[in-house]
Amino acid sequence: MRDAENEISHYVEFDYLIVNDDFGRALAELTTIISARRHSMTIQKDAQASLLRTLLA
């Protein structure tokens, strides 16, 4: 329990907080976060650079 308390005390250091009291809901929340991250501008601007150049030409 001491380890769990220590880990929980660091929650403010993270960007997201998922409480795993309902596994299905926690999984859905995690899936949503992963999907949003994959579509972030940081990742997509490089992945879609060629397409964007074509569309903006």
Q: Which residue is listed with tokens 């949503």?
A: 32
Q: How far apart are CA 45 and CA 47, in angstroms?
A: 6
User: Considering only CA atoms, which of 55, 16, 22, 12 is closest in space to residue 35?
Assistant: 16
Q: Reduced to 3 states, what is the DSSP secondary structure of residue 15?
A: coil
Question: Domains along the chain?
Answer: 2-56 (3.40.50.300)
| Residue 44 CB neighbour total at 10 angstroms | 13
Whether residue 1 has pLDDT greater than 90: no
Residue type, 7: E
Q: What is the pLDDT of residues 10-55, one digit of tens each?
A: 999 999 999 999 999 999 999 999 999 999 998 999 999 999 999 9
Position 17 scores a pLDDT of 94
Residue type, 10: H
